[in-house]
């Protein structure tokens, strides 16, 4: 699963443009429901199936159109031995998709959309860390602290500069 998620993560913009299916209202509701379920319990029995469904839907549509900025995930992408790397790399894609669905006026390149995606990753991370002490990472703990101090938007904005060149 790890290799599939990494490949999809990097190829998402190209795949979505090529296939571009229209999500139904029920599909969009399911995106939101599954995303929030994964944030609340990323180790749930049906988590793998939920991720597979979300990846399938969100890589075949541009409604919502999720933009991936690898610079926001640099340390996580480089942490090859991290047990939950693929799950956490995928989670912002889901979080951005859910945010765009829940906030109809939001745009795919809005700062708030990227912050929502990273926030989704952090919610999942906190649950992984609570259940598995070995899954704690200093760089992710620093982002949790930034979020808790309302500094996450500034952090995301700084890292998005690499993708907006």
pLDDT digits (tens, 9 = 90+) for 106-153: 998 899 999 999 999 999 999 999 999 999 999 999 999 999 999 999
pLDDT score of 83: 95
Is the Cβ–Cβ distance between 9 and 89 less than 8 Å?
yes
Radius of gyration for the chain, computed over Cα atoms and rounded to the nearest angstrom: 15
Give the separation between CA 151 and CA 101, rounded to whole angstroms. 24
Query: How far is Cα 135 from Cα 58, in angstroms, rounded to an integer?
Result: 27
Task: Round to whole Å and give the CA distance between 121 and 129.
Answer: 12
Q: 30 or 74, which is more confident?
A: 30
Contact by Cβ (8 Å): 96, 64? yes
Residues 6 or more apart whose Cβ sits within 8 Å of residue 133:
none
Contacts of 108 (CB under 8 A, 6+ apart): 64, 65, 66, 67, 96, 100
Q: How confident is the model at residue 6 (pLDDT cuts 50, 70, 90)?
A: very low
Cβ proximity of 91 and 38 under 8 Å: yes
With beta carbons less than 8 A apart as the criterion, state whether 73 and 164 touch.
Answer: no
Interhelix angle for 111-131 vs 85-102, to 10°? 140
In the structure encoding, which two tokens stand for residue 164, read together? 């907006």
Q: In the chain, what is the greatest distance between 2 CA atoms, to the nearest angstrom? A: 41
The C-alpha atoms of residue 48 and residue 39 are separated, in whole angstroms, by 13
Find the mean pLDDT for residues 50-69.
Answer: 93
């Amino acid at each position: 699963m790890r290799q599939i998620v990494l490949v999809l993560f990097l190829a998402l913009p190209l795949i979505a443009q090529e296939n571009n299916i229209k999500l139904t209202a029920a599909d969009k509701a399911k995106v939101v429901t599954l995303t929030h379920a994964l944030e609340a319990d990323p180790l749930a029995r049906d988590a793998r199936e939920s991720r597979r469904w979300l990846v399938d839907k969100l890589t075949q549509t541009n409604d919502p159109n999720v933009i991936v900025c690898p610079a926001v995930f640099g340390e996580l992408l480089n942490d090859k031995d991290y047990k939950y790397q693929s799950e956490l790399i995928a989670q912002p894609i889901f979080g951005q998709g859910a945010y765009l669905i829940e906030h109809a006026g939001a745009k795919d390149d809005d700062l708030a959309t990227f912050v929502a995606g990273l926030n989704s990753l952090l919610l999942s991370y906190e649950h992984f860390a609570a259940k598995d002490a070995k899954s704690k990472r200093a760089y992710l703990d620093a982002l949790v602290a930034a979020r808790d101090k309302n500094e996450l938007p500034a952090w995301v904005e700084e890292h998005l500069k690499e993708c907006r060149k």
